Amino acid sequence: MFLNPIMLLGLSALSVPVLIHLMNRRKFQRLAWAAMRFVQLSVQKNQRRMHVEDLLLLILRCLLLALLALALARPTLRAAAGLFAKQRVCMVLVVDQSGSMQAQDGVNSRLDNAKKAAEAALDALPGGSSVALLGASDIAQGLIPEPTADLNLARKSVRELKPTDRSSDVLAALRQAVDILSRISDAKCEILLVSDGQAAAFARLEQIRQTLREAAAAGVQSRIVLVGPRIEQNLGVSDLRLAEGLAPINRPLRFEAQVTNYGTAIAQAIRVALQVDQDAPSDEAIIDSLEPGQTRSVSCFARLKSADYHMVSAAVATDRQPLDDRRAIVVRAIAQLKLLLVDGDPGRSATDAETFYLRQALQPVAPAQRGEYYLQVQTITPAELEQARFEEFDAVMIANVADFSDTSLSALSAYVRRGGGLAIFPGHNTQPAFYNSKLFKQYGLLPAQLGAARGDAGQEKDFITLRAQKRYEHPVAQLWNDPASGSPASAHFFRSYELQPAAAQGPENQATRVLFYYSDGKPAVMDKSVGYGQVVLFSSTASARWNDLPLRPGLFVPLMHRTLGSLIRRQDEALNVPVGQPLVYRAAAELLGRDVMITRPADRQVPKDSRKVEMAGSQALVRYDNTDWAGEYEMDITAASPLKIRFAAQAEAGESSLSVLSATQRQTLEQVAQVLDNSEGQLPVAKQLQQARVGTEWSTPLILAALALAITESILAHRFSQAK
Amino acid sequence: MAREIHNGAFNKTAPGGYNMRAPSHGTAQRNVIMAETQTPDLLDPRTISQAEALGLAARFVVEGYMAGDHKSPFRGFAIEFTQHREYVPGDDTRHLDWKVLGRTDRYYLKQYEQETNFVAHVLLDGSESMRYGSQAHPRLGHATAAAKVCKLDYAKALAACLCYLILHQRDAVAVGVFDAAMQMYLPRTGNPQSVHNIMRVLSAYDPHGQSGIGTVLHQMAGQIGRKGLVILISDLLDDEQSVLEGIQHLRFGGHEVILFHVLDPFELEFPFDGLVQFEGLEQIPLVQTRPREIRKSYLRELEGFRTRMREGCEKQQCHFVSVNTAQPLHEVLAGYLSFRQRTTR
């Protein structure tokens, strides 16, 4: 195959030496000569040799010209394509934009190198080619979603690529690339993925292989360029959370910052600084040393000054991977929380009341100070339910209530769906049949049906405990991931209802989670998101009648606070989203149609964005999708009383991982794609691509051969023309 | 020796070099000046002056017919005593040494060395090949200085100088120009004036035919009666064997043979380049070749030829003189004559 077949016409130059030879025969000097016999003798003796030499020189010169013509025609090794094979390439350039691409060696980040490789790839494209550009993170971002022949646009788009803090998964982008190429028929199709080869990006390796294999079957050539720099050390804040259930103002709040050593060496004297908004760091913790791969949580305290949104961030010293050096969450501080307790069994004395322990736990202060406490609790009986105005309360807790009237039930359901919190404790009054038919089936409030009650509350020998877990998944239970917080398994449950989650895996059930299990594997506490609200269902009482949980304040108080927090924070859950998830703010109906200015993380130097408050279903919403970066986002809703909501996006901790594709994984990839490892920055990517595209070019060796031939020719010609 | 008087005559030169045209003493000089006005001047004054001093003597005994004819216009040109010999009956009594007889009563004859003149036959090759001269194609020449004249012109001048020289030492000269056969022959003359005639005839000669040196030499060997000097001036581009046989024939007749082998510098060095078509001067077919590539071979052939000729000549005790026409004539002649003087003594 020739890249420049027109140059083959140069082969006609082969006739030139012959012509020159013939023409030279006509160009001679005449010389009248006396000593002819010596000339004749010499000619006779040398005739044969001179002929041979002439022929040899002629052949050499022809060969020289042929080689030059061939060299100029730029022959390549891949001979199958023929002389006029289609040269145009339609390339989908997939550039990894995930957070790991921010890793840098102090000068260039991986993304910079990826851009260079991508530009080199663009430069190496043959004329008439077209390019589509996709940014790959956990989603495929169509930067140039349809192939364009405007390579300058492509170059510009590549140069303007910005790193995101999203996690890596190249599969989506590869699928989209294959999809784009499936519509191309008149060019050679190629996929070029430029990535750092982080193992996480290729986690779905089998699917990637399948996708690329199918593409290859359709004639799509896939290539993967791995770029560096490889970094050895990375220390990151892998998690930051509010350890308290609630965030009241002017109280020291404990935040838990989790620091992970992703590197290969022990990190020592790690300073973790906690900062609220733009203030000076409020607290600092030092981790003496952290083994490679190890994660450690530290507690830092901060006070929130006003009942507002606050950004709390934890930071470690900047390193080569800036993605995870700081992690921020937004916390809405509350000045006061109003809680409604519905007591199904008030008892004869206050201590007998079903909600006695609950109230004590939620307001753990002396009765005189209860008025100033941020948690304001109101207790009513089931009979007062119908008059209750749920909207005034942040959460409702129902303990040992037998049943509800339809009015109160529908009001309760509406309250929850609009964003209210509801916690339900069963008891001896509870009518499981009513709960199951109304609350579970009709209103869909309960995460599970109440089954048969087990155990005997009258004795203390036969009990069941909560299952001790190494790692609790639910936010409420996560406190006990730290052994210093004690173990939930210490509480004894003598009697409890069996919670029976809906068997079918419907969309409803996805909102259902189990907070704790009993040691026999049955769910003990479950919750469910209903509408914008949250419901927590316990399987035993809030009082000490069926268990001794309330008698263990070390366990009960934080559990209740965290439960309440989870009910409240359901509203605020949307304030902290993983990078890439939309920011959603449920606005009041009167704000509909208002303009919203969105300020994105300041350090990214990106302009502000704007949205409008729009109607989604029955709710006025502001929805903002463009959360590519970790950090603080701010929504300013222009209204008579301006409203400012702050959000924070957090990068996925896995993105900090330094692990790259293993040799086996790479082999797997190499079955379906050509892998060019440029992580040391040593390969001339353009040349490699060109070589890969057209095979090895033979011009240089041909030119060298021609040169050698030219030298030989000169030497021989000189030698031959020497007097003999 | 007998030539000293000429030395004196020609050594009287004007300051700053020779000026043959200035009035001077001596008949020879005057004659030259006279000749110049009438005939083409083949005589190079410098050559003449140097050569005359050296003279040209016959190496072998030659039969001079003028012995005793004229008495000593030159001092020392006389009968010189060499030895006594006992008388034997039959000897001419004129040569008896009476003084010895008177003193010793023995009969002794006085013997004298007789000086005689010789006839030099100057044979000039006038074949067409002699017409070659490198001045004709200046473009071809490079490394080598081209000769100013063609071989024939050079040979003519050489012949004229030799004739002048011989005539002026009172020897006789006969001049022949030949190609395949004798084309022109000036019979023997001893008159120094006839040098003009010789020059005129030589100048007028225009070469055309092929050469046949051997034939001519045989012919000459048959014709020349008295032992004499044969001077052959040629490029010898002919059949080697016949040339050598001709020389042998002459030597057999008792003649001394001097061979001036005249070659052009281009013929000696073959300094051509590029593609050249050689066109033979004597109806030899064309040859087209790149001379540079056959130069060594050519030179080998030429050298072989010259060596063979030289060796052939030496075998027959005749002088072989290589003449390059780029060399000034006076150098060639003076060089040879001084060599000859040394070897003759």
**CA of B210: which chain A residue's CA is closest?**
A34
* H helix or E strand, kind and range, residue A637: strand A631-637
- Structure tokens belonging to residue A534: 């949250």
Q: B41 touching A, CB under 8 A?
A: no
Q: A721 touching B, CB under 8 A?
A: yes
What is the C-alpha separation between A498 and A489, in angstroms, rounded? 18
Contacts of B239 (CB under 8 A, 6+ apart): B214
Calculate ∠ Cα A16-A18-A22, nearest 5°.
Answer: 115
**What is the three-state SS of A1-18?**
CECCHHHHHHHHHHHHHH
pLDDT at A84 over 50: no
Q: Is the pTM of this model over 0.90?
A: no
- Contact of A108 with A229, CB cutoff 8 Å: yes
Distance from CA of B66 to the nearest CA of A (A): 42
**CA of B130: which chain A residue's CA is closest?**
A34
Please count the residues of chain A: 724
ipTM score of complex: 0.73
Please name the member of A32, A39, A722 whose beta carbon is closest to the beta carbon of B298.
A39
Q: A50 touching B, CB under 8 A?
A: yes
> What is the overall mean pLDDT for chain A?
85
Q: At what angle do helices A205-217 and A170-181 cross, to 10 degrees?
A: 10
What is the C-alpha separation between A11 and B43, in angstroms, rounded? 66
Q: What dihedral angle (degrees, nearest 10) is formed by the CA atoms of A382, A386, A387, A390?
A: 90
What is the C-alpha separation between A439 and A455, in angstroms, rounded? 24
What is the C-alpha separation between A296 and A238, in angstroms, rounded? 9
Confidence (pLDDT) at A132? 92
Helices (H), A447-530: none
Question: Distance from CA of residue A474 to its chain's centroid?
Answer: 22
Q: What dihedral angle (degrees, nearest 10) is formed by the CA atoms of A705, A707, A708, A711?
A: 160
Between chains, do B297 and A724 touch, taking CB under 8 Å as contact? Answer: yes
Least confident span in A259-268, A425-434, A663-672, A692-701: A692-701
Confidence (pLDDT) at A540? 92
**CA of B211: which chain A residue's CA is closest?**
A34
- Predicted confidence band of residue A509 (pLDDT cuts 50, 70, 90): low
Confidence (pLDDT) at B25? 41
Between chains, do B293 and A721 touch, taking CB under 8 Å as contact? Answer: yes
Task: Please state the φ and ψ torsions of residue A674, each to the nearest 5 degrees.
Answer: -85, 125
What is the C-alpha separation between B265 and A395, in angstroms, rounded? 128
- Contact of A644 with A636, CB cutoff 8 Å: yes
Confidence (pLDDT) at B138? 54
- Contact of A329 with A661, CB cutoff 8 Å: no
**CA of A23: which chain B residue's CA is closest?**
B275
pLDDT at A145 over 60: yes
- The DSSP code for A474 is S
- Structure tokens belonging to residue B180: 């395949």
**CA of A723: which chain B residue's CA is closest?**
B293
Interface of A with B in 701-720 (CB under 8 A): 720
Between chains, do A32 and B132 touch, taking CB under 8 Å as contact? Answer: yes
| pLDDT lower than 50: segments of chain B | 1-38, 61-78, 141
- Predicted confidence band of residue A525 (pLDDT cuts 50, 70, 90): very high
Q: Which residues of A touch B268 (CB under 8 A)?
A: none
What is the C-alpha separation between A320 and A102, in angstroms, rounded? 8
Confidence (pLDDT) at A77? 61
Q: Which residues of B touch A42 (CB under 8 A)?
A: 289, 294, 297-298, 300-301
Please name the member of B276, B288, B294 whose beta carbon is closest to the beta carbon of A724.
B294
Please name the member of A31, A33, A720 whose beta carbon is closest to the beta carbon of B293.
A720
Confidence (pLDDT) at B19? 34
Confidence (pLDDT) at B5? 32
Q: Which residues of A touch B293 (CB under 8 A)?
A: 46, 50, 53, 720-724
Q: Is A658 exposed, middle or buried (CB count within 10 Å of its CB: 0-12, 13-18, 19+)?
A: buried
- Contact of A522 with A474, CB cutoff 8 Å: no
Which candidate in A21, A38, A718 is best for mutational testing of the B interface (most B CBs within 10 A)? A38
Contacts of A568 (CB under 8 A, 6+ apart): A246, A334, A337, A394, A395, A421
Distance from CA of A36 to the nearest CA of B (A): 6
What is the C-alpha separation between A202 and B12, in angstroms, rounded? 117
Confidence (pLDDT) at A391? 85
What is the C-alpha separation between A351 and A334, in angstroms, rounded? 29
Give which of A296, A26, A193 is closest to A672, Cα–Cα.
A193
What is the C-alpha separation between A175 and B121, in angstroms, rounded? 115
Give which of A683, A691, A639, A603 is closest to A278, Cα–Cα.
A603
pLDDT at A41 over 80: yes
Region A444-465: mean pLDDT is: 87
Region A361-366: mean pLDDT is: 87
Please name the member of A24, A32, A36 whose beta carbon is closest to the beta carbon of B287.
A36
**CA of B282: which chain A residue's CA is closest?**
A34
Confidence (pLDDT) at A274? 92
Please name the member of B130, B279, B284 whose beta carbon is closest to the beta carbon of A31.
B279
pLDDT at A399 over 80: yes
- The DSSP code for A150 is -
pLDDT tens string A239-278? 888 877 778 888 888 898 999 998 888 988 999 999 998 8
Between chains, do A42 and B136 touch, taking CB under 8 Å as contact? Answer: no
What is the C-alpha separation between B325 and B141, in angstroms, rounded? 15
Between chains, do B278 and A25 touch, taking CB under 8 Å as contact? Answer: no
Confidence (pLDDT) at B30? 40
- Contact of A235 with A262, CB cutoff 8 Å: yes
- Predicted confidence band of residue A696 (pLDDT cuts 50, 70, 90): low
- Alpha-carbon Rg for chain B, nearest whole angstrom, is 23
Calculate ∠ Cα A132-A98-A94, nearest 5°.
Answer: 20
Between chains, do A41 and B301 touch, taking CB under 8 Å as contact? Answer: yes
User: Is the link from the previous residue into A426 a cis peptide, with omega within 30 of 0?
Assistant: no
Q: A369 touching B, CB under 8 A?
A: no
What is the C-alpha separation between A579 and A563, in angstroms, rounded? 26
Q: Is A147 helix (H, G, I), strand (E, B) or coil?
A: strand
Please name the member of B263, B288, B294 whose beta carbon is closest to the beta carbon of A28.
B288
* H helix or E strand, kind and range, residue A417: helix A406-417
- The DSSP code for A248 is B
Contacts of B252 (CB under 8 A, 6+ apart): B221
**B38 torsion bin: left (phi>0), alpha (psi -120 to 50), beta (else):** alpha
**CA of B280: which chain A residue's CA is closest?**
A33
What is the C-alpha separation between A627 and A625, in angstroms, rounded? 6
- Structure tokens belonging to residue A527: 């919750």
Sheet with A375-380: strands ordered across? A375-380, A337-343, A395-399, A421-425, A533-538, A523-530, A512-517
What is the C-alpha separation between B188 and B223, in angstroms, rounded? 12
Confidence (pLDDT) at A398? 92
Between chains, do B281 and A32 touch, taking CB under 8 Å as contact? Answer: yes
What is the C-alpha separation between B86 and A323, in angstroms, rounded? 144
Question: What are the helix and strand counts (H, E) for chain A?
Answer: 13, 33
Q: What percent of the residues of chain A are helix, what percent strand, and what percent coil, each to the nearest 5?
A: 35, 30, 35
Which candidate in A30, A36, A722 is best for mutational testing of the B interface (most B CBs within 10 A)? A36
Contacts of B58 (CB under 8 A, 6+ apart): B118, B228, B229, B256
- Predicted confidence band of residue A495 (pLDDT cuts 50, 70, 90): very high
**What is the three-state SS of chain B?**
CCCHHHHHHHHCCCCCCCCCCCCCCCHHHHHHHHHHHHCCCCCCHHHHHHHHHHCCCCCCCCCCCCCCCCCCCCCCCCCEEEEEEECCCCCCHHHECHHHHHHHCCCEEEEEECCCCCEEEEEEECCHHHHCCHHHCCCCCCCCCCCCCCHHHHHHHHHHHHHHHHHCCCCEEEEEEECCCEEEEEEEECCCCHHHHHHHHHHHCCCCCCCCHHHHHHHHHHHCCCCCEEEEEECCCCCHHHHHHHHHHHHHCCCEEEEEEEECHHHHHCCCCCCEEEEECCCCCCEEECHHHHHHHHHHHHHHHHHHHHHHHHHCCCEEEEEECCCCHHHHHHHHHHHHHHHHC
Convert A480-515 to b/e letters by CB count within 10 Å (16 or more is b).
beeeeeeebbebbbbbbbbbebbeeeeeeeebbbbb
Which candidate in A29, A33, A52, A56 is best for mutational testing of the B interface (most B CBs within 10 A)? A33
Q: Which residues of A touch B208 (CB under 8 A)?
A: none
